[in-house]
Amino acid sequence: MASTVDAARVKEYNEEDTEGFERKLDILASMVMESKYTVFFTGAGVSTSAGVGDYRGPSGAWTMRKIKELQRKGTSRTNEEDRELRDLLIEHEKADKTAKKPVPMTDAQPTFTHMTMATLIKRSIAHYVITTNLDGIFRKAGLEGHTQLCCLHGDIYIERCTKCGYDFERNYEVRQGNSVHVHDHKVLQFNLSKISELED
């Protein structure tokens, strides 16, 4: 996946005049209000301000892998690869100065963006969130899985019973270890009669 990273895609553009930004917000608000069914589609960028790392950002996992690959080439780098490495390092250094301190995913809290989407859905102004994130922050913001939220890659805090299909929300990562894949939604099957015996 590091091959999908290049300096042009990593560069972040944060310079926007307030007037231009507010004009864009007004247009977006009008579009949402006029929409019959609004669905938000989000990814890692929504959670970076909560301290959760991304993949292709200036300090993202794949970006850092690409930097290391280019550095390992040493003197065998082409001029183009030298420019690419220099540009990636410049963007990484700029982002490093302003980046929010990384937090463990279990501690990450909903941002203004998460809460805005959740509020719009709760007020029936918007209708659904689809996210590629598996950090569980949208659930912390109050969205309900399946009826208001779809986590395309799963949610590392949700266990799904393979027998009844019920989702259990946990405050720890449920797919730890190498034996369970991130896309496996499995809960150990317990014998309910054994649990009843323990309760007696």
Q: DSSP states of 65-110 as a string?
A: HHHHHHHHHGGG--HHHHHHHHHHHHHHHHHHHHPPPP--GGG---
pLDDT of 195: 45
Q: Where are the domains of the chain?
A: 1-34+54-101
pLDDT of 170: 78
pLDDT of 187: 45
pLDDT of 198: 47
Low-confidence residues in the chain, pLDDT < 70? 1-3, 9, 11-14, 98-100, 175-200
Task: Give pTM, 2 decimals.
Answer: 0.71
User: Which residue among 114, 146, 153, 183 is the active-site one?
Assistant: 153
pLDDT of 33: 93
Rounded to whole angstroms, the Cα distance separating 14 from 21 reads 11
pLDDT of 114: 96
- Based on the residue annotation, tell me whether 153 is a catalytic residue of this protein: yes
pLDDT of 129: 96
Rounded to whole angstroms, the Cα distance separating 190 from 194 reads 8
- CA atoms 195, 196, 199, 200: torsion sign: negative
Rounded to whole angstroms, the Cα distance separating 43 from 151 reads 10
